[in-house]
Chain A
Amino acid sequence: MITVMYYILAAAVAVLLMINFLRSKKWQDEILYLIVLLPFILRLLRLK
């Protein structure tokens, strides 16, 4: 039950990271958003 909420939380963060990535204007920030996004996606896919 609580674990499910953590997946929802991770999904929310992942969506926000993606939106900010798309709106970003600086290439350095874009790379950084993608790096931070990586573990969130892998967790959501239950790969790690």
Chain B
Amino acid sequence: MTLSPEIILLSMVAAYILAKLFKISTELSMFFAALAGALAGGAGIPARHIAEGAFTYLDIILIFITATFFMNLLKESGGVAFVIRGILRKFHHSKILLFLLLTLILLIPGALTGAGSVTVLITGGMIAVVLGYMGLSRPRTAAIVFIIAGLSAAAPPVSLWAMLTAAGVNMPYVGFFLPLLIPCVLLSLLTIFILGWKGKRVDLDKALKELPEAPDKMNWLRVILPFVAFFFLIAAGRVWPHSLPIVGLPLMFVVSALLSLLLSPIRLSVFRIARDTIRQLLPLIGTLTCVGILVQIMTLTGVRGLIAVTVVTLPVFIVVATLALTLPVSEAVLMWGAAPVLGVPLVLLFNTIGLNPIVALAGMSVIWPLGDALPPTAIIGRLTKDTVHMEEPYREMLKHCLIPAVLIAVVGTLMVLFSKKLAFLTML
């Protein structure tokens, strides 16, 4: 006798809550929920499915590790302090210019890699320091970094939700550039101006006194060259995709890391930094691995189908009206797994009822990253809290996220609703 997916889902939820009650971390609670699901589903302890699920985000984990390693090297070599000092010196007189620059710096890493966590790890810390000198509280700063990091992940050229869903419905990844770029840039600017409006002009002398000194020999060239190498490799892959070998993001970050190591004015303890990087990332890569296992077990036992069929068979107006709820929640539980689980059936549904699938999917992609602040995983939310060294309770950050989150949800939903009218943005 096999239990129905409904009961298996209940036992997974029960196992998760039970694990949480025993003060077990979110990552491991998800792992135990997966084990409970497999047992309830009559699959025993399915070693192959555990291992296969654990593979799901292997390449993304490699990106996180190499990108963070690169940033940590840069930080230890004094490059980060050098850049912050430079930005403050040049732009301290104009809040508007400073905000525009900070938004750009926050958007680029996530836009190129498709991962908001890369934005948080690579530039989030620096930006937070600058915002701090403008008198913004830590939770407010964290909210700015988190929201823009999420939008950077959705921003083109690489938006993993749009890409994975498009592949799932056999659509080329074409026509997404403007439908993703325009809302992401506008909403990022709105966020930093709304949340940062109370910011004062930077007291330059005070800031320069307090900030750690960069090593004497540090200069712009030493900081910039590793980034130049990274952007060159990305650009080269796009300009000459058929005459160059495929490098892949992890190796690009390794190249940048090696360069910053070579160019560092001080000797760096590579082995220690590498070890610390792994330790720092354990919650993130652990969550990714456990989510992969969870999704595999949910698929195996039919729980995934239960969730998908329940969502897509709701009346269409409810589906659209609750996107701002279902997408972030699916993201909070499954992360990118939400794209195949919910994104694919939803886009097919929208296509069936005559909406423009590209614009609708772009609208969904803008909403999805909001879920990264929500439990159970709250992965990028937690990462942001740590990166900006916020001591206050986590909910303080969420409070500040509320206004931009509502704006994002409204914009995204309207994009789905009016996707047909906005179809010109795809330029197809």
Chain A residues with a Cβ under 8 A of chain B: 1-2, 5-6, 9-10, 12-13, 16-17, 19-20, 28-29, 31-33, 35-36, 38-40, 42-43, 48
Contact = CB atoms under 8 A, between A and B. Distances in A.
20 contacts: A2-B245, A2-B248, A5-B251, A9-B62, A13-B62, A13-B65, A13-B278, A17-B278, A28-B25, A32-B286, A32-B290, A33-B282, A36-B61, A38-B51, A38-B54, A39-B55, A39-B58, A42-B55, A43-B58, A48-B51
A29 B55 CA distance: 19
A47 to B, nearest CB: 9
A9 B250 contact: yes
Q: Which 4 A-B pairs have the closest CB atoms?
A: A32-B286, A39-B55, A16-B278, A39-B54
Contacts, number: 74
A4 B339 CA distance: 31
Contacts of A20: 275, 278-279, 282
B275 A42 contact: no
A17 B286 CA distance: 11
A12 B275 CA distance: 10
Nearest to B28: A28
Given A9-B254, A36-B61, A16 B282 contact: no
B398 interface: no
Contact of B245 (A1, A16, A43): A1
B48 to A, nearest CB: 9
B275 A6 contact: no
A7 to B, nearest CB: 12
